[in-house]
Every structure is written in C-alpha cells, then in structure tokens.
C-alpha cells in the first residue's frame, strides 16, 4: 500500500483554508497534518476541521519528510517566511495545480505555487516559484509571473505580459498585451493596465493610474 506524503500548511487563513478543504481536487496525494500560524489566538484550535499545531517557528520539530504548503497570498510576508524556512532546514515545497485548471503545453511552473480551479495558462508562459493564482485567472501566451506574485480572482493578462517579483494584482485586474508590471507593485481591484508599470508602484483605476 502506498504511503501518503505528509503535509503542513503554513497560514490558517483564506488560501490555506481553501487548500485544506479542497486538497483532493489537487493532483497530489497528501495526508494533511494541520496548520502552523503565528496568530496565538489560533494555536491549539481547529481551522476548517484541522488543528493549528503551533507557530511557524515550530517547523523545527519536523524533518524533511514533511512537505510544506505556503497558504499565504501576501507576497512580502510569504517571501520572508520562505527565506526563514530555507535557513532552518531543507523542505519540499510542492506545487498544487487544480484538476479544474487548464495548463497548456509548453508552460513552466516552479515550486510552491498554488493554481486554483478555473485558471487558464496559455503556451510559452512561465510561472516562477511561490506564485498564487486564485480562482478563474487567465494568462495569455508568453506571459511571465516572477517569484511570489499573487493574483486575486478573475485576473486576466494579455499575451507577453511580465509581472515582477513580489507584485500583487487585485480582483479583476486586466492588462493589454506586451505589458511589463514591475516588482513589488500593488494593483487595485478592477484596474485595467494599458501601459507598463515601474517597480514599487501602486496602481488603480480604468485606465490604470499610478498613485504612489
């Protein structure tokens, strides 16, 4: 009999909760041990039916046989957690792709990603490490999402769009083709991006305008 791989989810919030309750809809067979979270109010309680076993630092109690899912969408928080984990020990960070997502041939996806149901990714696109693509997102051909990018539901990016490291796109963001969105950018819900965006910007509106 095949032994199930053991899994811990870091982050007892919306992304972690989705993954926990829908784990069977993703194409990897895991036994979920529970959550780790730094919120003291959650530790020792259950979240979506699974125990919150300790804070994130308690990962030191587990060895490399346990796989780690980062159930956090916020790029800056997620990147700090991962850098800390990698300094502690070697852990496996599997990528979770919903069986209800459509991924074309000629697509590369890195480690630690979560690709929600309803998502479509067209050919020649690259999704780097620890990216979250929430419900019903769409990437055109030849797109690039760099490390720690977070896409809220219903983001749709035209072909040849590049999104920089640590950037967060709000619900319903759309872009034209051939757009570059820089690193550490925050884009508000419903924004329509018609021209490239520099690093460290905040963008809102239709058409998108830089407000910071």
55, 204, 209 from 193: Cα distances, Å:
39, 9, 8
Q: Is the dihedral of CA 143, 128, 120, 196 positive or negative?
A: negative
Which are the contacts of 100, defined by CB distance < 8 A and separation ≥ 6?
25, 117, 118
How far is 177 from 125, CA to CA, in rounded Å?
13
DSSP 174-201: EE-SS-EE-TT-EE-TT-EE-S-B-TT-
Question: Which residues are bridge partners to 7 per DSSP?
Answer: 32, 67
Q: Evaluate whether 156 touches 176 at the Cβ level (below 8 Å).
A: no
Taking 50 as the pLDDT cut, the residues of the chain under it are 1
Instruction: For residue range 57-98, list pLDDT tens digits in order.
Output: 999 898 888 999 999 999 999 999 998 888 877 789 999 999
Structure letter (DSSP) for residue 76: H
Q: Evaluate whether 196 touches 208 at the Cβ level (below 8 Å).
A: no
pTM given for the model:
0.94
**How many helices and strands, by DSSP H and E, does the chain display?**
2, 24
**Res 2: pLDDT:** 60
19, 24, 131, 144, 185 from 169: Cα distances, Å:
20, 27, 12, 14, 8
């Amino acid at each position: 009999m095949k032994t199930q791989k053991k899994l811990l989810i870091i982050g007892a919030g919306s992304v972690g909760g989705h993954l926990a309750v829908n784990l069977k809809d993703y194409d990897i067979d895991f036994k979920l041990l529970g959550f780790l979270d730094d919120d003291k109010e959650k530790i020792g309680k259950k979240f979506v039916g699974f125990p919150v076993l300790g804070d994130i630092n308690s990962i030191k109690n587990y060895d490399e046989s346990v796989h780690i899912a980062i159930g956090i969408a916020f790029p800056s928080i997620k990147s700090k957690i991962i850098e800390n984990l990698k300094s502690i020990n070697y852990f496996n960070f599997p990528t979770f792709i919903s069986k209800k997502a459509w991924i074309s041939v000629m697509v590369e996806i890195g480690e630690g990603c979560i690709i929600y149901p309803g998502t479509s990714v067209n050919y020649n696109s690259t999704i780097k490490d620890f990216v979250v693509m929430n419900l019903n997102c769409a990437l055109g051909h030849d797109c690039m999402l760099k490390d720690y990018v977070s896409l809220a539901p219903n983001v749709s990016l035209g072909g040849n769009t590049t999104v920089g490291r640590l950037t967060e796109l709000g619900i319903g963001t759309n872009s034209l083709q051939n757009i570059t969105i820089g690193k550490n950018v925050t884009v508000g819900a419903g924004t329509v991006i018609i021209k490239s965006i520099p690093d460290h910007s905040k963008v809102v509106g239709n058409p998108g305008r830089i407000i910071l």
